[in-house]
Amino acid sequence: MTPAFSIGLDLGGTNARAAAVDGLGRIVAVSKHKLADRSPDACAAALEACARDVVASLGRTLEDAEGIGLALAGQLDSLTGRVIVAPNLGWRDLDFGALLEARLGRKVAIGNDLAVAALGEARAGAARGMDDAILVFVGSGVGSGLILGGRIHHGFRGVSGEFGHVKVHPGGRPCGCGERGCLEAYAGGVNLGARAAELVRGGRASSLTFPEGLHPTMAMIERAAEEGDALCVELREEAAVLVGVATANLVTVLNPQVLVLGGGVLAGSPYARWRVEEVVRAHASRASLHGLLVVNPALGDDAGVIGGAFLARG
Protein backbone atom coordinates (compact mmCIF):
# COMPACT_ATOMS: atom_id res chain seq x y z
CA MET A 1 0.00 0.00 0.00
CA THR A 2 1.44 3.37 -1.06
CA PRO A 3 1.68 5.75 1.90
CA ALA A 4 -0.21 9.04 1.94
CA PHE A 5 1.09 11.31 -0.80
CA SER A 6 0.58 14.70 -2.36
CA ILE A 7 1.25 15.57 -5.97
CA GLY A 8 3.74 18.25 -6.87
CA LEU A 9 3.66 19.70 -10.38
CA ASP A 10 6.32 21.82 -12.04
CA LEU A 11 5.88 23.81 -15.24
CA GLY A 12 9.03 25.31 -16.74
CA GLY A 13 9.64 26.58 -20.23
CA THR A 14 10.55 23.17 -21.67
CA ASN A 15 9.04 20.40 -19.53
CA ALA A 16 6.05 19.58 -17.41
CA ARG A 17 6.83 17.36 -14.43
CA ALA A 18 4.83 15.66 -11.71
CA ALA A 19 5.79 13.65 -8.66
CA ALA A 20 3.95 11.88 -5.90
CA VAL A 21 5.69 12.95 -2.70
CA ASP A 22 5.28 11.50 0.80
CA GLY A 23 4.99 13.53 3.99
CA LEU A 24 8.76 13.57 4.47
CA GLY A 25 9.35 15.01 1.01
CA ARG A 26 10.49 11.77 -0.60
CA ILE A 27 9.49 11.19 -4.22
CA VAL A 28 7.58 7.92 -4.60
CA ALA A 29 6.77 8.28 -8.31
CA VAL A 30 7.70 10.78 -11.00
CA SER A 31 6.83 11.66 -14.60
CA LYS A 32 8.11 14.21 -17.11
CA HIS A 33 6.58 15.31 -20.43
CA LYS A 34 8.22 17.60 -22.96
CA LEU A 35 5.91 20.50 -23.81
CA ALA A 36 4.49 20.18 -27.32
CA ASP A 37 3.81 23.87 -27.35
CA ARG A 38 3.51 26.52 -24.68
CA SER A 39 -0.15 27.36 -25.10
CA PRO A 40 -2.01 27.25 -21.78
CA ASP A 41 -4.11 24.33 -23.03
CA ALA A 42 -1.12 22.27 -24.14
CA CYS A 43 0.64 22.99 -20.83
CA ALA A 44 -2.40 22.01 -18.79
CA ALA A 45 -2.72 18.83 -20.87
CA ALA A 46 0.96 17.99 -20.30
CA LEU A 47 0.65 18.52 -16.55
CA GLU A 48 -2.50 16.42 -16.48
CA ALA A 49 -0.76 13.62 -18.37
CA CYS A 50 2.17 13.71 -15.91
CA ALA A 51 -0.13 13.68 -12.90
CA ARG A 52 -2.19 10.78 -14.26
CA ASP A 53 1.02 8.83 -15.09
CA VAL A 54 2.21 9.23 -11.54
CA VAL A 55 -0.96 8.06 -9.82
CA ALA A 56 -1.42 5.24 -12.36
CA SER A 57 2.11 3.99 -11.62
CA LEU A 58 1.09 3.74 -7.96
CA GLY A 59 -2.19 2.02 -8.79
CA ARG A 60 -4.04 5.00 -7.36
CA THR A 61 -6.17 7.88 -8.64
CA LEU A 62 -5.93 11.67 -8.41
CA GLU A 63 -8.64 11.57 -5.75
CA ASP A 64 -6.23 9.64 -3.50
CA ALA A 65 -3.75 12.52 -3.35
CA GLU A 66 -3.84 14.63 -0.20
CA GLY A 67 -3.44 17.68 -2.36
CA ILE A 68 -1.97 19.03 -5.58
CA GLY A 69 0.46 21.95 -5.83
CA LEU A 70 2.09 23.57 -8.85
CA ALA A 71 5.36 25.49 -9.21
CA LEU A 72 5.03 27.88 -12.13
CA ALA A 73 7.77 30.06 -13.60
CA GLY A 74 5.94 33.37 -13.53
CA GLN A 75 4.43 36.15 -11.48
CA LEU A 76 1.19 35.19 -9.78
CA ASP A 77 -1.42 37.43 -8.22
CA SER A 78 -2.22 35.80 -4.90
CA LEU A 79 -5.43 37.79 -4.51
CA THR A 80 -7.00 36.63 -7.77
CA GLY A 81 -4.96 33.47 -8.39
CA ARG A 82 -4.23 34.64 -11.94
CA VAL A 83 -0.88 34.51 -13.73
CA ILE A 84 0.23 38.14 -14.14
CA VAL A 85 3.05 37.31 -16.52
CA ALA A 86 5.05 34.16 -17.33
CA PRO A 87 7.79 35.26 -19.73
CA ASN A 88 9.19 31.75 -20.37
CA LEU A 89 5.75 30.59 -21.43
CA GLY A 90 4.71 33.79 -23.21
CA TRP A 91 1.63 34.21 -21.01
CA ARG A 92 0.08 37.35 -19.61
CA ASP A 93 -3.01 37.79 -17.36
CA LEU A 94 -4.36 34.27 -17.44
CA ASP A 95 -6.32 32.11 -15.00
CA PHE A 96 -4.22 29.01 -15.52
CA GLY A 97 -5.29 27.52 -12.20
CA ALA A 98 -8.92 27.31 -13.32
CA LEU A 99 -7.85 25.62 -16.56
CA LEU A 100 -5.79 23.03 -14.72
CA GLU A 101 -8.38 22.44 -12.00
CA ALA A 102 -11.04 21.77 -14.63
CA ARG A 103 -8.84 19.05 -16.14
CA LEU A 104 -7.80 17.46 -12.85
CA GLY A 105 -11.13 17.82 -11.06
CA ARG A 106 -9.18 18.91 -7.99
CA LYS A 107 -8.14 22.17 -6.35
CA VAL A 108 -4.56 23.12 -7.23
CA ALA A 109 -2.38 25.39 -5.05
CA ILE A 110 -0.13 27.48 -7.30
CA GLY A 111 3.08 29.24 -6.40
CA ASN A 112 5.95 31.01 -8.11
CA ASP A 113 8.64 28.46 -9.04
CA LEU A 114 11.40 29.93 -6.88
CA ALA A 115 9.13 30.39 -3.86
CA VAL A 116 7.99 26.78 -4.23
CA ALA A 117 11.56 25.54 -4.70
CA ALA A 118 12.54 27.43 -1.54
CA LEU A 119 9.68 25.70 0.29
CA GLY A 120 10.94 22.33 -0.94
CA GLU A 121 14.48 23.08 0.25
CA ALA A 122 13.17 24.35 3.62
CA ARG A 123 10.97 21.32 4.25
CA ALA A 124 13.03 18.51 2.74
CA GLY A 125 16.30 19.84 1.32
CA ALA A 126 19.32 21.97 2.16
CA ALA A 127 17.36 24.13 4.63
CA ARG A 128 15.35 21.29 6.16
CA GLY A 129 13.69 22.23 9.40
CA MET A 130 14.68 25.89 9.21
CA ASP A 131 11.87 28.42 9.44
CA ASP A 132 13.64 31.42 7.96
CA ALA A 133 15.27 30.45 4.69
CA ILE A 134 16.13 32.56 1.66
CA LEU A 135 16.84 31.01 -1.71
CA VAL A 136 18.79 33.27 -4.05
CA PHE A 137 18.81 31.99 -7.61
CA VAL A 138 21.24 33.15 -10.29
CA GLY A 139 20.63 31.48 -13.63
CA SER A 140 19.50 32.89 -16.95
CA GLY A 141 17.48 35.23 -14.72
CA VAL A 142 17.91 36.26 -11.09
CA GLY A 143 15.29 35.70 -8.42
CA SER A 144 14.60 34.54 -4.91
CA GLY A 145 12.20 32.55 -2.80
CA LEU A 146 11.46 33.62 0.77
CA ILE A 147 10.46 31.21 3.51
CA LEU A 148 9.66 33.27 6.59
CA GLY A 149 8.24 31.73 9.73
CA GLY A 150 8.14 28.35 7.99
CA ARG A 151 5.90 29.44 5.13
CA ILE A 152 6.27 31.07 1.74
CA HIS A 153 6.15 34.84 2.10
CA HIS A 154 3.82 35.76 -0.74
CA GLY A 155 3.36 39.44 0.09
CA PHE A 156 0.24 41.47 -0.50
CA ARG A 157 -0.33 40.49 -4.13
CA GLY A 158 1.90 37.45 -4.27
CA VAL A 159 4.75 39.13 -6.14
CA SER A 160 7.33 39.13 -3.36
CA GLY A 161 10.79 37.74 -4.00
CA GLU A 162 11.44 39.69 -7.20
CA PHE A 163 15.07 39.93 -6.19
CA GLY A 164 16.26 40.17 -9.81
CA HIS A 165 14.51 43.52 -10.05
CA VAL A 166 16.01 45.32 -7.10
CA LYS A 167 17.84 48.35 -8.46
CA VAL A 168 21.60 48.19 -8.28
CA HIS A 169 22.28 51.05 -10.71
CA PRO A 170 19.09 53.17 -10.75
CA GLY A 171 18.56 54.46 -14.29
CA GLY A 172 21.22 52.06 -15.61
CA ARG A 173 21.04 49.18 -18.14
CA PRO A 174 17.60 48.33 -19.48
CA CYS A 175 16.18 45.08 -18.11
CA GLY A 176 13.81 42.61 -19.75
CA CYS A 177 11.13 43.75 -17.29
CA GLY A 178 10.96 47.17 -18.95
CA GLU A 179 12.74 48.98 -16.13
CA ARG A 180 16.37 50.05 -15.80
CA GLY A 181 19.23 49.24 -13.47
CA CYS A 182 17.87 45.91 -12.18
CA LEU A 183 20.24 43.34 -10.67
CA GLU A 184 19.19 40.86 -13.37
CA ALA A 185 20.32 43.28 -16.10
CA TYR A 186 23.88 42.94 -14.72
CA ALA A 187 23.98 39.45 -13.28
CA GLY A 188 21.48 37.23 -15.09
CA GLY A 189 23.10 34.77 -17.48
CA VAL A 190 21.19 36.00 -20.51
CA ASN A 191 22.08 39.62 -19.85
CA LEU A 192 25.72 38.81 -19.11
CA GLY A 193 25.93 37.10 -22.49
CA ALA A 194 24.34 40.11 -24.16
CA ARG A 195 26.71 42.53 -22.42
CA ALA A 196 29.73 40.47 -23.39
CA ALA A 197 28.54 40.47 -27.02
CA GLU A 198 27.98 44.23 -26.95
CA LEU A 199 31.41 44.91 -25.53
CA VAL A 200 33.20 42.60 -27.97
CA ARG A 201 31.34 44.07 -30.92
CA GLY A 202 32.23 47.53 -29.55
CA GLY A 203 35.90 46.61 -29.92
CA ARG A 204 36.78 45.31 -26.46
CA ALA A 205 39.58 42.72 -26.62
CA SER A 206 38.47 39.22 -25.64
CA SER A 207 39.11 35.59 -26.53
CA LEU A 208 35.35 35.07 -26.87
CA THR A 209 34.17 34.05 -30.31
CA PHE A 210 30.54 33.66 -31.25
CA PRO A 211 28.52 33.85 -34.46
CA GLU A 212 26.96 37.09 -35.67
CA GLY A 213 23.52 37.54 -34.11
CA LEU A 214 24.24 35.28 -31.15
CA HIS A 215 25.54 35.92 -27.64
CA PRO A 216 28.12 33.89 -25.77
CA THR A 217 26.61 31.56 -23.17
CA MET A 218 27.46 31.70 -19.48
CA ALA A 219 29.47 28.51 -19.92
CA MET A 220 31.59 30.26 -22.58
CA ILE A 221 32.09 33.30 -20.36
CA GLU A 222 33.01 31.11 -17.39
CA ARG A 223 35.52 29.10 -19.45
CA ALA A 224 37.11 32.26 -20.86
CA ALA A 225 37.28 33.80 -17.37
CA GLU A 226 39.01 30.70 -16.05
CA GLU A 227 41.52 31.02 -18.90
CA GLY A 228 42.22 34.60 -17.86
CA ASP A 229 40.20 36.57 -20.42
CA ALA A 230 40.12 40.04 -18.83
CA LEU A 231 36.67 40.98 -20.10
CA CYS A 232 35.08 37.78 -18.80
CA VAL A 233 36.92 38.01 -15.48
CA GLU A 234 35.59 41.54 -15.09
CA LEU A 235 31.98 40.70 -16.02
CA ARG A 236 31.92 37.66 -13.73
CA GLU A 237 33.41 39.64 -10.86
CA GLU A 238 31.00 42.55 -11.29
CA ALA A 239 28.03 40.18 -11.37
CA ALA A 240 29.18 38.28 -8.29
CA VAL A 241 29.75 41.47 -6.30
CA LEU A 242 26.37 42.93 -7.27
CA VAL A 243 24.58 39.70 -6.35
CA GLY A 244 26.63 39.47 -3.16
CA VAL A 245 25.88 43.00 -1.95
CA ALA A 246 22.16 42.73 -2.79
CA THR A 247 22.03 39.37 -1.02
CA ALA A 248 23.90 40.81 1.97
CA ASN A 249 21.25 43.54 2.21
CA LEU A 250 18.51 40.92 2.12
CA VAL A 251 20.26 39.02 4.92
CA THR A 252 20.67 42.24 6.95
CA VAL A 253 16.98 43.08 6.67
CA LEU A 254 15.48 39.58 6.99
CA ASN A 255 17.98 37.79 9.27
CA PRO A 256 17.42 34.30 7.84
CA GLN A 257 18.86 31.18 9.42
CA VAL A 258 19.98 29.84 6.08
CA LEU A 259 20.83 31.24 2.68
CA VAL A 260 20.57 28.81 -0.23
CA LEU A 261 22.61 29.89 -3.26
CA GLY A 262 21.25 28.22 -6.37
CA GLY A 263 20.85 28.52 -10.13
CA GLY A 264 22.89 27.52 -13.16
CA VAL A 265 25.30 30.46 -13.09
CA LEU A 266 26.42 29.69 -9.54
CA ALA A 267 26.37 25.92 -10.10
CA GLY A 268 28.56 26.43 -13.19
CA SER A 269 31.07 28.82 -11.69
CA PRO A 270 32.86 27.79 -8.49
CA TYR A 271 34.47 31.23 -8.47
CA ALA A 272 31.16 33.10 -8.61
CA ARG A 273 29.62 30.82 -5.96
CA TRP A 274 32.58 31.43 -3.63
CA ARG A 275 32.71 35.16 -4.33
CA VAL A 276 29.00 35.74 -3.70
CA GLU A 277 29.29 34.10 -0.31
CA GLU A 278 32.45 36.07 0.48
CA VAL A 279 30.71 39.37 -0.38
CA VAL A 280 27.66 38.42 1.70
CA ARG A 281 29.91 37.72 4.68
CA ALA A 282 31.77 41.02 4.14
CA HIS A 283 28.68 43.21 3.82
CA ALA A 284 25.73 41.79 5.76
CA SER A 285 25.32 43.24 9.27
CA ARG A 286 27.41 41.43 11.84
CA ALA A 287 24.37 40.49 13.91
CA SER A 288 22.59 38.94 10.91
CA LEU A 289 25.67 36.83 10.09
CA HIS A 290 25.72 35.28 13.55
CA GLY A 291 24.91 31.62 12.95
CA LEU A 292 23.94 32.14 9.29
CA LEU A 293 24.33 29.02 7.16
CA VAL A 294 25.17 29.46 3.47
CA VAL A 295 24.48 26.28 1.50
CA ASN A 296 23.92 24.92 -1.99
CA PRO A 297 20.50 23.57 -2.91
CA ALA A 298 20.08 19.85 -2.27
CA LEU A 299 17.04 18.96 -4.36
CA GLY A 300 18.24 19.89 -7.85
CA ASP A 301 15.52 19.65 -10.48
CA ASP A 302 13.17 18.05 -7.96
CA ALA A 303 12.83 21.19 -5.81
CA GLY A 304 9.74 22.34 -7.73
CA VAL A 305 7.75 19.11 -7.50
CA ILE A 306 8.75 18.48 -3.88
CA GLY A 307 7.95 22.08 -2.93
CA GLY A 308 4.68 21.83 -4.88
CA ALA A 309 3.66 18.81 -2.82
CA PHE A 310 4.33 20.76 0.40
CA LEU A 311 2.48 23.78 -0.98
CA ALA A 312 -0.56 21.55 -1.48
CA ARG A 313 -0.41 20.54 2.18
CA GLY A 314 -0.51 24.22 3.25
Instruction: Find the binder of its own copies among 88, 206, 257, 296 (CB under 8 A).
Output: 257
Nearer residue to its own copies within complex by CB, 148 or 197: 148
Minimum Å distance from CB 16 to its own copies?
25
Q: How far is the CB of 159 from its own copies (least distance, A)?
A: 4
Residue 174 interacting with its own copies (CB under 8 A): no
Sketch the per residue contact string, 14 through 53, with its own copies: x for CB under 8 A, - otherwise. ----------------------------------------
Mask of contacts with its own copies, 273-312, x by CB under 8 A? ---------xx-xxxx-xxx--------------------
Residues of span 48-87 touching its own copies by CB under 8 A: 75, 84
Chain center to CA of 78 = 18
Please tell me whether residue 179 binds its own copies under the rule CB under 8 A.
yes
Pick the closer one to its own copies by CB: 22 or 77: 77
Residue 162 in contact with its own copies, rule: CB under 8 A: yes
132 sits near its own copies (criterion: CB under 8 A):
yes
Check residue 213 for interaction with its own copies (CB under 8 A).
no
Determine, following the binding rule CB under 8 A, whether residue 211 of this chain makes contact with its own copies.
Answer: no
Dist. CA 202–CA 36, nearest whole Å: 39
Report the nearest approach of its own copies to the CB of residue 29 (Å): 33
Least separation in angstroms between residue 148's CB and its own copies is 6
Q: Does 253 bind its own copies (CB under 8 A)?
A: yes
- Kindly report the three-state secondary structure assignment for every residue of 93-149: EECHHHHHHHHHCCCCEEEEHHHHHHHHHHHHCCCCCCCCEEEEEECCCEEEEEEEC
Q: Could you write out the three-class secondary structure of the chain?
A: CCCCCEEEEEECCCEEEEEEECCCCCEEEEEEEECCCCCHHHHHHHHHHHHHHHHHHCCCCHHHCCCEEEEECCEECCCCCCEEEECCCCEEEECHHHHHHHHHCCCCEEEEHHHHHHHHHHHHCCCCCCCCEEEEEECCCEEEEEEECCEECCCCCCCCCCHHHCECCCCCCECCCCCECEHHHHHCHHHHHHHHHHHHHCCCCCCCCCCCCCCCCHHHHHHHHHCCCHHHHHHHHHHHHHHHHHHHHHHHHHCCCEEEEECHHHHHCHHHHHHHHHHHHHHCCHHHHCCCEEECCCCHHHHHHHHHHHHHHC
Residue 29 CA to residue 260 CA, distance in Å, equals 26
CB 183 to its own copies: min, Å: 9
178 or 203: CB nearest its own copies = 178
The region of 7-15, 47-55, 254-262, 296-304 touching its own copies under the rule CB under 8 A is 254-262
- Which positions lie near its own copies, rule CB under 8 A? 75, 84, 130-132, 144, 146, 148-149, 151, 153-163, 165-167, 170, 177-179, 181, 241, 245-246, 248-250, 252-257, 282-283, 285-288, 290-292
